[in-house]
Amino acid sequence: MIRKQWYIVLGSKQVGPRPVGVTRMGEKLVFWRDSSGQVSCLRDRCVHRGVALSAGKVLDSGRLQCPFHGFEYDTSGQVTTIPAKGRQATVSERFRVHHYPTHEAHGWIWIWWGDEPPADLRPPRFFEDLEHGFHWAQIIDPWSAHYSRVIENQLDPVHLPFVHHNTIGRGNRTVVDGPGLEWVDADRFHVYTRNRVDDGTPPLKPDQVTLSDSQVYLDFIFPNLWQNHISDDVRVLAAFVPVDEEHTLLYLRFYQRFLSVPLLGGLVARLAMPFNRLVAHQDRRVVQTQMPKASALRMGEQLVQGDRPIVAYRQRRQELQELAGE
């Protein structure tokens, strides 16, 4: 995983009035909402005796109370009250667990995964053209795979006619023109390509394929957010949520706005999800067999032109890991 990044880690509906314990990026974390609905995140281990704070409760004050000895934590991870010492007693700064900054928007919860956030920490980015007018539905799908492999699968046009031969890859379109790749900025890029039937001519080079050839393209924002821009009115989104080194949760969404009636629009989005799950499971069956589990820039693979987006992802991922001091 890449430290010092905003990661989508949960759906908003997964955190309610009680503490929620999850594993993300290999760490045990606890999330809760205060009386105003603000989400907070701490490492899920009491500084006193190591109990899971997620087994505790949220007090009316908005603080999180440990279930073992009643220690109360504020949103910064500082213990504010030790009942055995009396409520008026001063609590030392050393009674603290690590907290992660959170951001909630678009039905997702992000955390900034690092030790000390910068003073000018900006909120995470989203796809600007999805802000208004879309109805969406979501499934959460577990994969026994490293999140980097799940991401790479969604940047890979070469596998379509084989893994998805009876769904989105129908037609035996095995030749991959390009792929074209355009960096929007340092941490976001677009991928566009064309798969076609093999007519004996070689694939077009990446510089011969342009986005204007098709309105369909892939849009990836580091570290774990992706969309398939199928049309102006139809998108498939995915957040690749790292659980640990060998497990990922795929938060998969379908967005549409060709039917804008509120109830019907939501229904259409939900009806699309069984097909999207089927396609994802075709991928999952194969990706879970990849070795080694985690991806890397140099790992002894013999790559082809169609793997260009994967190489771009790996290069930037390594750069970000180095910048984070990993």
Based on the fold, state whether residues 230 and 109 are members of the same structural domain.
no
| Cα–Cα distance, 173 to 160 (Å, whole number) | 8
* Residue 139 resides in a domain: yes
- Residue 119: partners with Cβ closer than 8 Å, 6 or more residues away: none
What φ, ψ does residue 322 adopt, rounded to 5°?
Answer: -65, -40
Based on the fold, state whether residues 68 and 197 are members of the same structural domain.
no
Domain containing residue 278: 133-323
* Residue 128 resides in a domain: no
Based on the fold, state whether residues 302 and 192 are members of the same structural domain.
yes
Based on the fold, state whether residues 94 and 162 are members of the same structural domain.
no
What CATH number does residue 45 fall under? 2.102.10.10
What CATH number does residue 283 fall under? 3.90.380.10
- End-to-end Cα spacing for the chain: 9
Based on the fold, state whether residues 45 and 172 are members of the same structural domain.
no
Tokens of 325: 């001091």
Helix (H, G, I), strand (E, B) or coil at 242: strand
Based on the fold, state whether residues 89 and 217 are members of the same structural domain.
no
CA diameter of the chain: 82
Based on the fold, state whether residues 148 and 223 are members of the same structural domain.
yes
How far is C-alpha 210 from the geometric centre of its chain's CA atoms? 28
Q: Which helix (H) or strand (E) holds 77?
A: none
Amino acid at 306: G
What φ, ψ does residue 144 adopt, rounded to 5°?
Answer: -90, 70
Q: What confidence score (pLDDT) does residue 213 get?
A: 62
| Cα–Cα distance, 223 to 154 (Å, whole number) | 14
* Residue 285 resides in a domain: yes
* Residue 124 resides in a domain: no
Based on the fold, state whether residues 294 and 165 are members of the same structural domain.
yes
> Using an 8 Å Cβ cutoff, are 11 and 109 in contact?
yes
Mean pLDDT, the chain cut into blocks of 10 residues (326 residues total): 96 96 98 94 98 97 96 97 94 96 97 94 94 92 98 97 97 95 96 94 92 82 97 96 98 94 90 97 98 94 96 97 89
| Cα–Cα distance, 32 to 14 (Å, whole number) | 10
> Among 113, 146, 165, which residue terminates a domain?
113
> Using an 8 Å Cβ cutoff, are 134 and 235 in contact?
yes
Q: What confidence score (pLDDT) does residue 262 get?
A: 80
Based on the fold, state whether residues 268 and 216 are members of the same structural domain.
yes
* Residue 126 resides in a domain: no
Helix (H, G, I), strand (E, B) or coil at 210: coil
Amino acid at 30: V
Based on the fold, state whether residues 54 and 198 are members of the same structural domain.
no
Q: What confidence score (pLDDT) does residue 325 get?
A: 86
Q: What confidence score (pLDDT) does residue 158 get?
A: 97
Based on the fold, state whether residues 150 and 206 are members of the same structural domain.
yes
Q: Which residue has the tokens 């279930």?
A: 67
* Residue 149 resides in a domain: yes
> Using an 8 Å Cβ cutoff, are 68 and 51 in contact?
yes
Helix (H, G, I), strand (E, B) or coil at 306: helix
**How many C-beta neighbours within 10 Å does residue 40 have?**
25
* Residue 123 resides in a domain: no
- Residue 264: partners with Cβ closer than 8 Å, 6 or more residues away: none
Based on the fold, state whether residues 87 and 55 are members of the same structural domain.
yes
pTM of the model: 0.94
Instruction: Give exposure, 276-294, as e/b (b: 16+ Cβ within 10 Å).
Output: beebbebbbeebeeeeeee
* Residue 121 resides in a domain: no
**Cis check: omega of the bond before 123, within 30 degrees of 0:** no
> Using an 8 Å Cβ cutoff, are 194 and 213 in contact?
yes
Q: Which of 70, 6, 74, 7 is nearest to 38 (CA)?
A: 74
Q: What confidence score (pLDDT) does residue 214 get?
A: 66
- Number of compact structural domains in the chain: 2
